[in-house]
Amino acid sequence: MLLCLAPGVVLLAEVAGFYRVVGPEPVTVSSFTSDGYVTWTNTPTNAVFTVQTAASLPVVSNWVDYVRVPGSNAVTTLRLRDPNPPPGMALIPAGVFTKGNTLSGEGDVDEVPTNTVYVSAFYMDKYEVTKALWDEVYQWATNHGYGFSYPGAGLAATHPVQTVTWADCVKWCNARSEKEGRPPAYYTNALLTEVYRVGLVDVANDWVNWYAGYRLPTEAEWEKAARGGLSGRRFPWGDLISQTQANYTASTDYPYDLSYPAGVHPIFAGNTSPAGYFAPNGYGVFDMAGNVWERCWDRYGTYSSGAQTDPHGPTAGTKRSRRGGSCGAVSQGCRVTYRNSDDPYTHVQARTGFRSVLPAPR
C-alpha cells in the first residue's frame, strides 16, 4: 500500500508495520516488493532521505527513524526488510548514520569526533552467541582442525557465552562458516590462501574476505545496528535507561538512569540474563546494551573526522574493541557510543562475549 501524505513524504505498509520516506524533495515510490525492496524517484540531490517506521496508524507521533539514505541519484532502491533472513539473524539495512557521541557534555574523548558513515546492508545475530551455539560449533571445530585457547563459559545454555578471547571468536566464526558450507572470512595472509584455524594470528584488515562468511562486526556495523535506526540517542531505544530494559548495574551518578535503588539487576544479581530476555531495538536485535560486552573486529584507535564507507578500523594497534556494556557495567558503559578494548589473545574475563554478522547480497 502506498499513501502520499505531503511533498517529500510517502507512506508504505507491509506486514511488519508502516513506513514513510521523508526528504527535502518530493518523492514518488514506484515499487514496494514482497521481499522488502522499495524504489523511489526524486529530483537528483545530495541530500539525505529518511525512512521512518511506525507500528500502527493513525497515531502520527509514533514515527521513528529506521534508516537514512543518501539521495545522490534520481532513483533509489533500498531493502527495508528480508522476510527470509538467515536463521536467527536480522537484516540491518544499508544507509548512513552519525557515528560517535552527538550529546555534548558527556561521554569520553574516544567517542569523538563524530563522522558520517555509510554502512552496506548486512545480517547480524539477533542474540548474543549463546553457550549452546558456541558449544555446537566449538565441538565441530575441534574435530576439524581448529584449535582454541579457551573453551568458553556460560551460566546456562540459553545465556551468552563469556570468557572468550577475540582470537578464539574469530576462529569460531570461521568454523561456523565452514560447518554450514560457507566460505570463511578470516585468513593468515593477504592472498587469502590459508584459513585461520589455529594459533594466535594478528589478522590484518586485508586478510579478510569481507563478503564471505560469518565474522565479527566492525565498530561501525555494531553501532549502526545498536542504534536500531534512531539518530543521536544514548541507548538502542532512546535517551533514558532502566533495569526493565537491560541487564546492567544501576547507578545514581547518571541522571538518565531511572533505576532505584542502585546496584546489580534485582533478578539476575550481577550475572548474565538469557539471550533475548529484554525487548529488541528497532532492527529486531536484542541485548545491545548490558548483559555481556561484545567483541568487534576493529583495532582500538581514534576516530576519523571525515565521511567513511564501510570502515574496517585502524590498520595498527595492540588492542581490539568491545562494545555494549555488561551486567556488571553501569549505565554510562551501556550507551551505544561507549567504547572499551582489551588484549585480543589473553583477555578472558567474565561478562565478555560476542555476536556475529553475515554480508547481505550486494
Cα angle 183, 218, 333 (rounded to 5 degrees) comes to: 140
pLDDT classification of 7: cutoffs 50, 70, 90: very low
Q: Which residues pair with 20 in a beta bridge?
A: 11, 52
**The pLDDT value given to residue 80:** 95
HEC readout, the chain: CEEEEECCEEEEEECCEEEEEECCCCEEEEEECCCCEEEEEECCCCCEEEEEEECCCCCHHHCEEEEEEECCCCEEEEECCCCCCCCCEEEECCEEEEECCCCCCCCCHHHCCCEEEEECCEEEECCCCEHHHHHHHHHHHHCCCCCCCCCCECCCCCCECECCCHHHHHHHHHHHHHHCCCCCCEECCCCCCCECCCCCCCCCHHHECCCCCCECCCHHHHHHHHHCCCCCCCCCCCCCECCCCCCCCECCCCCCECCCCCECCCCCCCCCCCCCCCCCCCCCCCCCCCCCEEEEEEECCCCCCCCEECCCCCCCCCCEEEECCCCCCCHHHHCCCCEEEECCCCCCCCCEECCCEEECCC
Question: 257 Cβ partners below 8 Å, 6+ apart?
Answer: 240, 241, 242, 250, 251, 330, 331
Say if residues 90 and 126 touch (Cβ distance below 8 Å).
yes
What is the tens place of the pLDDT at every residue in 198-230?
999 999 999 999 999 999 999 999 999 999 999
What is the tens place of the pLDDT at every residue in 110-162?
999 999 999 999 999 999 999 999 999 999 999 999 999 999 999 999 999 99
- Cα–Cα dist 300/340, whole Å: 8
What is the tens place of the pLDDT at every residue in 311-332?
999 999 999 999 999 999 999 9
**The pLDDT value given to residue 107:** 87
Does residue 333 have a pLDDT over 50?
Answer: yes
Q: Where are the domains of the chain?
A: 2-124, 127-362
- Strands 75-79 and 320-323, sheet pairing: unpaired
Share of the chain above pLDDT 90, in %: 82
Say if residues 252 and 262 touch (Cβ distance below 8 Å).
yes
**pLDDT, mean over the chain:** 93
Q: Considering only CA atoms, which of 269, 262, 359, 275 is closest in space to residue 324?
A: 275
Q: Which residues pair with 173 in a beta bridge?
A: none
pLDDT classification of 60: cutoffs 50, 70, 90: low
pLDDT classification of 348: cutoffs 50, 70, 90: confident
**The pLDDT value given to residue 122:** 98
The model's pTM is 0.95
What is the tens place of the pLDDT at every residue in 275-318?
999 999 999 999 999 999 999 999 999 999 999 999 999 999 99
Does residue 342 have a pLDDT over 80?
Answer: yes
**The pLDDT value given to residue 167:** 98
pLDDT classification of 12: cutoffs 50, 70, 90: low
Topology, domain 127-362: paralog of FGE (formylglycine-generating enzyme) (3.90.1580)
What is the tens place of the pLDDT at every residue in 245-262?
999 999 999 999 999 999
